[in-house]
Amino acid sequence: MTVGLDDRQRAMLAEMGVRIWWPAQTSPPQEAPATIAEAGPNSPETIKKIAKKDPVALGIGRKSLISAPADAPPAPAAPMGPDVGVVNGLDWPELETAVAACRACGLCERRRQTVFGVGDRQADWMVIGEAPGEQEDLRGEPFVGPAGQLLDNMLRAVGLSRTAGPADAPSAGGVAPPLSPAGVYIANVLKCRPPGNRNPQPDEMAHCAPYLRRQIALVQPRLILAMGRFAVQFLLDSTEPIGRLRGQVHRYEGIPVVVTYHPAYLLRNLPDKAKAWADLRLALKTLREASGGRMAGQAARSVS
Ligand code: URA
Domain extent for 267: 116-300
pLDDT at residue 171, as a whole number? 45
- Is there a domain that residue 174 lies in? yes
What is the distance in A from the centroid of ligand 1 to the CA of 147?
7
Tell which residue, 223, 215, 164, has the closest CA to residue 189: 215
Cβ(143) – ligand 1 distance below 6 Å: yes
Cβ(189) – ligand 1 distance below 6 Å: no
pLDDT in tens, the chain (304 residues): 333 444 544 443 343 333 333 333 333 344 444 444 455 544 555 555 565 555 454 555 443 333 445 566 666 666 578 999 999 999 999 999 999 999 999 999 999 999 999 999 999 999 999 999 999 999 999 999 999 999 999 999 999 999 987 644 444 454 444 457 899 999 999 999 999 999 999 999 999 999 999 999 999 999 999 999 999 999 999 999 999 999 999 999 999 999 999 999 999 999 999 999 999 999 999 999 987 766 665 565 555 4
Q: Do β-strands 118-119 and 125-129 pair in parallel, antiparallel, or remain unpaired?
A: unpaired
Query: What residues form DSSP beta bridges with 127?
Result: 186, 225
- Is there a domain that residue 203 lies in? yes
CATH code for the domain in which residue 287 is found:
3.40.470.10
Closest approach atom of ligand 1 to CA 231: 3
Number of domains observed in the structure of the chain = 1
pLDDT at residue 5, as a whole number? 40
Tell which residue, 43, 259, 264, has the closest CA to residue 143: 264
- Which of 114, 130, 215, 234 has the most ligand 1 atoms within 8 A of CB, as the residue to mutate? 130
Query: What residues form DSSP beta bridges with 224?
Result: 126, 257
What is the distance in A from the centroid of ligand 1 to the CA of 132?
5
- Is there a domain that residue 32 lies in? no
Distance CA 99, CA 210 (A): 10
- Is there a domain that residue 60 lies in? no
- Which of 136, 149, 154, 233 has the most ligand 1 atoms within 8 A of CB, as the residue to mutate? 136
- Is there a domain that residue 54 lies in? no
What is the distance in A from the centroid of ligand 1 to the CA of 227?
9
- Is there a domain that residue 269 lies in? yes
Cβ(142) – ligand 1 distance below 6 Å: yes
Answer for the pair 2, 21: CB distance below 8 angstroms, yes or no: yes
Cβ(183) – ligand 1 distance below 6 Å: no
Answer for the pair 212, 224: CB distance below 8 angstroms, yes or no: no
Cβ(152) – ligand 1 distance below 6 Å: no
Which residues make Cβ contacts (< 8 Å) with residue 42, sequence separation at least 6?
Answer: 97, 100
pLDDT at residue 76, as a whole number? 67
Q: Do β-strands 182-188 and 160-161 pair in parallel, antiparallel, or remain unpaired?
A: parallel
**Which residue, by CA, sits nearest to atom 7 of ligand 1?**
143
pLDDT at residue 92, as a whole number? 98
pLDDT at residue 80, as a whole number? 73
Task: List phi, psi (to 5°) of 172.
Answer: -115, 115
- Is there a domain that residue 5 lies in? no
Strand positions, DSSP E, the chain: 118-119, 125-129, 160-161, 182-188, 223-227, 249-252, 255-260
- CA distances to 93, 95, 98, 162, 171 from 129, rounded to whole Å, are 22, 19, 20, 14, 30
- Is there a domain that residue 213 lies in? yes
pLDDT at residue 30, as a whole number? 44
Three-state DSSP class for 65?
A: helix
pLDDT at residue 70, as a whole number? 58
pLDDT at residue 271, as a whole number? 96
pLDDT at residue 293, as a whole number? 67
Cβ(188) – ligand 1 distance below 6 Å: yes
For the entire predicted model, the pTM comes to 0.75
- Which of 107, 118, 143, 192 has the most ligand 1 atoms within 8 A of CB, as the residue to mutate? 143
What is the distance in A from the centroid of ligand 1 to the CA of 254?
25
pLDDT at residue 235, as a whole number? 98
What is the Cβ-side half-sphere exposure of residue 252, based on CA atoms within 13 angstroms?
A: 24
pLDDT at residue 16, as a whole number? 31
What is the distance in A from the centroid of ligand 1 to the CA of 142?
6
What is the 8-class DSSP label of residue 191? S
